[in-house]
């Protein structure tokens, strides 16, 4: 499932697409006007690739791209010149063997990147710990992973009063307050914040804004 993050951007000008294989494209939202039920193709994908995230941006945003194996790259969206609907995009991030992109969001003041792993380990960290880099790099460690954590399932930009709604591979729903998630350093492993049954893993999650009553 692909989600679109636009919460932090009023008057968004662009849609930023990134695939699991690390290919990205910035598209002017005017290209998406007058859509019909038939839809409109906006990104050519290589065989086996798929869109990992779509983010709405203002034209002057920083983005944090995160992978399943715990790497993160902070880039300015200007690194990706706007392209037409038929363009295939450019390399956003260099990935290690077996790694893939699991999330991307706008860096916003007063918020934290929150990370959750397959085995219910999570943390918040600070955007200030990620230096701005050029596209095409491999990034830096965003979470220290091990057999106890499993791979990262997702990364979301959260506020203190948000909540997280998560679902496991066996269909169990878990809800927790962001304020109960520890704020730790970039290379820290994190803490167990969701107790899972043996053999069950975290499958996906969504941010719930308690003030607005809306999911992100």
- Global pTM exceeds 0.85: yes
**In this model, does residue 209 exceed pLDDT 90?**
no
Per the CB < 8 A criterion, the answer to whether 157 and 3 are in contact is no
Helix (H, G, I), strand (E, B) or coil at 71: strand
Task: Give the mean model confidence (pLDDT) for residues 141-170.
Answer: 96
Read off the pLDDT of residues 20-39 as tens digits, 9 standing for 90 and up.
999 999 999 988 887 777 77
Among residues of the chain, what percentage have pLDDT more than 70?
A: 92
End-to-end CA distance of the chain: 13
Closest CA relative to residue 51, chosen from 15, 2, 109? 2
Confidence tier at 43 by pLDDT (50, 70, 90): confident
**Residue range 165-185: average pLDDT?**
96
Task: Count CB neighbours of 215 within 10 A.
Answer: 12
pLDDT at 106 over 80: yes
For residue 78, what are the β-bridge partners? none
Q: What is the mean pLDDT of residues 83-98?
A: 93
Computed over every residue of the chain, the mean pLDDT equals 91
CA 81/CA 49 separation, integer angstroms? 22
Question: Would you say residue 129 has pLDDT above 90?
Answer: yes
| Rounded Cα gap, residues 181 and 202, in angstroms | 16
- CA dist 206 and 214 (Å) reads 10
What is the sign of the dihedral through the CA atoms of 34, 62, 108 and 67?
positive
The pLDDT, as a whole number, for residue 5 is 52
Give the separation between CA 142 and CA 129, rounded to whole angstroms. Answer: 9
Average pLDDT of the segment spanning 102-121: 96
Average pLDDT over residues 168-177: 95
Q: In this model, does residue 213 exceed pLDDT 80? A: no
In this structure, what are the phi and psi dihedrals at residue 178, rounded to the nearest 5 degrees?
Answer: -60, -35
From start to end of the chain, where are the E strands? 4-5, 14-19, 23-28, 51-57, 62-67, 71-76, 90-91, 101-106, 112-117, 121-124, 140-141, 152-158, 162-168, 173-177, 191-192, 202-209, 214-215
Task: For residues 19 and 140, give the distance between their C-alpha atoms in angstroms, rounded to a whole number.
Answer: 19
Quote the pLDDT of residue 1: 39
Mean pLDDT over 73-83 rounds to 97
Domain positions in the chain are 4-215
- Separation of alpha carbons 51 and 208, rounded Å: 23
Is the pLDDT higher at 189 or at 86? 189
pLDDT value at 108 more than 50 = yes
- For residues 81-104, average pLDDT: 94
Q: How confident is the model at residue 216 (pLDDT cuts 50, 70, 90)?
A: low
Fold annotation for 4-215: Neuraminidase (2.120.10)
How much is the pLDDT for 104?
Answer: 97
Region 138-146: mean pLDDT is 97
> Which residue in the block uniquely carries the two structure tokens 């038939």?
38
């Amino acid at each position: 499932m692909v989600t679109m993050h636009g919460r932090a951007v009023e008057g968004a000008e662009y849609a930023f697409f990134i695939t699991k294989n690390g290919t990205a494209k910035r598209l002017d939202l005017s290209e998406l006007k007058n859509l019909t039920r038939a839809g409109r193709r906006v990104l050519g994908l290589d065989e086996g690739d798929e869109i990992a995230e779509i983010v709405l941006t203002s034209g002057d945003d920083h983005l944090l791209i995160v992978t399943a194996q715990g790497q993160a790259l902070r880039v300015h969206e200007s690194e990706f010149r706007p392209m037409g609907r038929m363009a295939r995009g450019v390399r956003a991030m260099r990935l290690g063997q077996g790694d893939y992109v699991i999330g991307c969001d706008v860096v916003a003041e007063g918020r934290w990147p929150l990370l959750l792993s397959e085995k219910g380990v999570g943390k918040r960290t600070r955007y200030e710990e990620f230096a701005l880099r050029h596209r095409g790099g491999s990034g830096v460690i965003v979470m220290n992973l091990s057999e106890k954590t499993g791979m990262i399932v997702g990364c979301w930009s959260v506020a203190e009063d948000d909540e997280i709604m998560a679902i496991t591979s066996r269909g169990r729903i878990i809800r927790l307050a962001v304020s109960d998630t520890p704020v730790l350093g970039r290379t820290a492993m994190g803490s167990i914040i969701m107790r899972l049954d043996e053999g069950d893993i975290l499958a996906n999650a969504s941010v719930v804004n308690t003030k607005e009553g809306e999911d992100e």
